[in-house]
Amino acid sequence: MEEKPFPAWSWSVEQCLKEYNVKIDKGLSSYDVEKQRQRYGWNELAKEKGKPLWQLVLDQFDDTLVKILLVAAFISFILAYLHGSESGESGFEAYVEPFVIVLILVLNAIVGVWQESNAEKALEALKEMQCESGKVLRDGYLVPDLPAKELVPGDIVELRVGDKVPADMRIAALKTSTLRVEQSSLTGEAMPVLKGTSPVFLDDCELQAKENMVFAGTTVVNGSCVCIVISTGMNTEIGKIQKQIHEASLEESETPLKKKLDEFGSRLTTAIGFICLVVWIINYKNFLSWDVVDGWPANIRFSFEKCTYYFKIAVALAVAAIPEGLPAVITTCLALGTRKMAQKNAIVRKLPSVETLGCTTVICSDKTGTLTTNQMSVSEFFTLGGKTTSSRIFHVEGTTYDPKDGGIVDWTCYNMDANLQAMAEICAVCNDAGIHCDGRLFRATGLPTEAALKVLVEKMGVPDVKVRNKIRDIQLAGNYLIDRNTVKLGCCEWWTKRSKRIATLEFDRIRKSMSVIVREPTGHNRLLVKGAVESLLERSSHVQLADGSLIPIDEPCRQLLLTRNLEMSSKGLRCLGLAYKDELGEFSDYYAENHPAHKKLLDPACYSAIESDLVFVGVVGLRDPPRDEVDKAIEDCRAAGIKVMVITGDNKSTAEAICQEIKLFSGGEDLRGRSFTGKEFMALSPTQQVEILSKPGGKVAKEASDMVLADDNFSTIVSAIAEGRSIYNNMKAFIRYMISSNVGEVISIFLTAALGIPECMIPVQLLWVNLVTDGPPATALGFNPADVDIMRKPPRRSDDALINSWVLLRYLVIGSYVGIATVGVFILWYTQGSLMGISLVDDGHTLVSLFQLRNWGECPTWSNFTVSPYMVGGGRVITFSNPCDYFTIGKVKAMTLSLSVLVAIEMFNSLNAVSEDNSLVTMPPWRNPWLLFAMSFSFGFHCLILYVPLLADVFGIVPLSLNEWFLVILVSAPVILIDELLKFVGRSRRSAAKKEKTS
């Protein structure tokens, strides 16, 4: 049941307790718990049922081309069965055709199911964020490990450091002076968020503004507290995210390629049906005849056997027209694309989304960790110089927690002056963070801000020359104080040993600072403080100059410090003030908990008084820096016509500064109407929202996690888009290649039927060509190198034609040559003794006239028609008990020549597809070595079925002699010259059109 809206953040703790009729020291009663559970259910995310295996399998067959193939396979099976029943035979050869079709479709389905089922596991990530148990107060007793799923609204829960929050809860009381929660999983904020108990007097506010709430799936990184459970299960913020993801995932939308292929399939279906009908009608006289009596047909004679024979020719035409390998090749190419993207840390959940990336017009990106490194680092710091009216600014390079990553620019202060020593001491000792080296990667523990301060200290060095040299020697050997497995000697370690920490005044949101009391080498105590600059200045009476002298703060000095602080803040830097105090009064001899003044350290209300009359030292500016590669990625997006939108949970001014730094916004640009907080954007009308999102063009997709970034890096998105564009271009290449090849097959079958000659290829041979010999080169075209200007073109429109009119004309010309060459070599073998000096009658076969070949069905009526046996490879002799068998059994050699020409011509045609427009001279085939390997592989397979007797019998072919191979190459090679000429014409047309447009 969905609970009613309850703005707990704007209510007082007492009101929240009253809402659930619960006492903070008793918790809910068992009766109340049961009542709440009946109302709200269990505290767990809904387990959305994934698609069952059978449905995933069926989805793979929801494709027009696949459906046509299934029909063709069914018809082929019926015809094979009928032929076997009539002849009394049931040989395996008759069922090869339907078996191969079904096999390739099953393999295609297996690849698709495997990819999608693996990707679905990504949805489990949200569930892993859920807590398993919690410390809960019930019936007045503390249950230390109550299963989190049993929590109900109104439960009183205790949280400590390291705990994962089990539900959305209102903080009722703090058990420590501070509480920080890491909630980047919900808001994207890099820094842990400080929490409190005071109401936020806004009924509708952003998630990050709810400072008295903790949310399911986040983690406590500092402090402990007692909370009231407000929302559980799917009513939590993380539950709402899962619901939105699930709803978006149900909005199935077809990708541009899927739409084009379905459209192509529909048109192909119509064309195939029409052509098959025409072919059948052309040959009607062969199975249907009648006499004309008194102007009316009589004595109608129908031959079922011949009718099915010509129907099988029509099916062969369908098999030739359908690019059977296309679904498998597309699936394979997209799968290869996902692998290439995975190597670039982009994990694709749905195969079609690889291609869709090429249409991307808008990128909506998070800031923290995607545009930035998600590692805080000191960018610059400043202190006063020799007088109160001058300041000195130090710039710091490096963006990671590795002390050797960059350094302080123009740092010559090896013998640090007193002011810089004070700064280093405060950064090193007033600090709870740690850094450790995990192999080569440096990681932080504790607050990222404090970790960045420790890295700064390492870059500053120490004032002791001997110690500094010893540290340098150790670091040159690859060791650091922060590497727990090596010698713990470094700058921070030196400071912490020098200034022994004896007490801590924890941070609180009132004074906005923290401090530590340390014992100096002199034996005196000193208070080291860091916090918000404005807050520290209010409590500072003096400022330290470079030489260590202390000067009272006057108004010009205060304004100078505030101005410098404002300048740093405007750059998107988070500023921390540093100060100290030597005159500690009753704390000047503090040593341990039994000291008389210790009780004041237990009361945070006393901290402001202790941290008064401070000596201001300087300001440190930190940032979560942009990734180095983001600048180029943004430029690539701009050149590619892609709009970039940054969506972040961070501070608006900080986000704007980062966006200006990565050149998403230009410096000094008016950001009104371009930069919005979430609340500002949601306050706009739907029309205004659409207008903002659509400038300068494009839509924001609602697909849920079709692609996941493994490295959370913006440049990975851009690389994935470039890869998507390249994959689309390569898919167009192999689609054009396969379609042009199939057009050639259609024309060959149509010419055979139109001329009335015996079929020059049988369906199983066409299947072999489409699935086996065409498949590897088509797949290899997916490895074509990307165009050099791939990211200098605007995004293609989703409705752009897959094949435009010029390309269609080109491939109709190519296809016509393929068909003519395939049928032509068949006719040449029967009717000609030689071609261009190549003898065709060395095997001893009988030549016939073209008239006889076209009217071979009338052979039984011919008188004195005789033929001679002829020899094929392997010493086999083809003989005929009936001379008319010369046009059926005897066509095995001519059919082998036709099949070989078709295979060879399509291998040459694959070279044409290396580039749609560029000549083979400028884009040579060795630019894609995979294609050359695939051609060799396909041709090798063709030779395998030619020269292995068992396979040759299955496919109805015979071995060829060397002389006959010369004939095959001679007839096939011109396809390259024809396409080169067509490419030249195409380039000339585009050049002329471009000149006309510019003029």
Active site residues per annotation: 366
The residues, any chain, with a CB within 8 Å of residue 951's CB and separated by 6 or more, are: 944, 945
SS3 (DSSP) at 657: helix
Q: Residues 324-334, buried b or exposed e (16+ Cβ, 10 A)?
A: bbbbbbbbbbb
Instruction: Give Cβ neighbours of residue 277 (< 8 Å, ≥ 6 apart).
Output: 314
Nearest-CA neighbor of 363 among 572, 632, 628, 638?
638
| Distance in angstroms (rounded) separating the CA atoms of residues 785 and 787 | 7
Contacts of 437 (CB under 8 A, 6+ apart): 443, 480, 482, 483, 484, 485
Q: Is 599 exposed, middle or buried (0-12, 13-18, 19+ CB in 10 A)?
A: exposed
CA distances from 966 to 760, 836, 887, 901, 982 (A): 20, 11, 24, 11, 26
How many Å apart are CA 831 and CA 293, to the nearest integer? 39
Separation in Å, CA 757 to CA 752, 852, 853, 854: 5, 9, 6, 5
Asked if 368 and 650 count as a contact pair (C-beta separation under 8 A), the reply is yes
Q: What are phi and psi of 551, to 5 degrees?
A: -125, 135
Q: d(Cα 830, Cα 852) in Å, to the nearest integer?
A: 10
Sign, CA dihedral 427-433-436-438, equals: negative
CB 629 within 8 A of CB 715: yes
If 0-12 CB within 10 Å is exposed, 13-18 middle and 19+ buried, where does residue 25 land?
A: exposed
| Token pair belonging to 93 | 């050869």
Contact 835, 828 (CB under 8 A): yes
Query: Strand 296-302 relative to strand 219-222: parallel, antiparallel, unpaired?
Result: unpaired
CB-based contact 765:957 (threshold 8 Å): yes
What's the DSSP call for residue 863? S
Contact indicator for 492, 436 with CB cutoff of 8 Å:
no
Retrieve residue 833's tokens.
């003794």
Q: If DSSP codes are grouped into helix, strand and coil, which group holds residue 317?
A: helix
Q: How far, in Å, CA of 455 to CA of 435, rounded?
A: 8
Decide the pairing of beta strands 434-438 and 550-552: unpaired
Q: Which two tokens stand for residue 904?
A: 């060879």
Task: Please state, in angstroms and as integers, the Cα–Cα distance from residue 927 to each residue in 186, 617, 651, 785, 933, following that order.
Answer: 46, 63, 49, 7, 12
CA dist., res. 294 & res. 655, Å (int): 94
Q: Which two tokens stand for residue 515?
A: 């401090």
Do 23 and 216 contact (CB within 8 A), yes or no?
A: no
CB-based contact 193:183 (threshold 8 Å): yes
Per-residue three-class SS string for 595-622: CCCHHHHCCHHHHHHHCCCEEEEEEEEE
Query: Can you spell out the DSSP letters for 124-159?
Result: GHHHHTS--EEEEEETTEEEEEEEGGG--TT-EEEE
